[in-house]
Amino acid sequence: MEYIDFQDFKKVDIRTGKIIDVEEFPNAKKPAYKLKIDFGEIGIKRSSAQITKLYKKEDLIGKEIIAVVNFKPKQIADFLSEVLVLGVESENGVVLLSPDKEVTLGKNIS
């Protein structure tokens, strides 16, 4: 394990968001969805997420998530992913991180 300083951690902008739209992503190398996520004050951002094993499209609409919003956008096939949705890899697929109570969209994780 490599240790970092707290100042390094503070550079990572992690915020709450709500998934507002989900589309299939057939051009992705690995099975994924195209997500539109509302981050409140910073607006709507897009993300590609490899979460198809555990989540159906209709179950994701309205789901609150946690994401890194200040990584450089990444081109994935024909799609520009602007944020990284956070999850935990399990033996059954990626489990999304989400607040256990409703929170204001776009708030920083502390």
Domain boundaries, the chain: 12-96
- For the stretch 19-29, pLDDT in tens is 999 999 999 99
CATH 2.60.40.1180 fits domain 12-96: no
CA distance linking residue 43 with residue 64, whole number of Å: 15
54 HSE (CA, 13 A, CB side): 14
Residue 79 neighbours by CB under 8 Å, 6+ apart = 25, 27, 28, 34, 46, 48
CA distance linking residue 40 with residue 17, whole number of Å: 7
- For the stretch 38-92, pLDDT in tens is 999 999 999 999 999 999 999 999 999 999 999 999 999 999 999 999 999 999 9
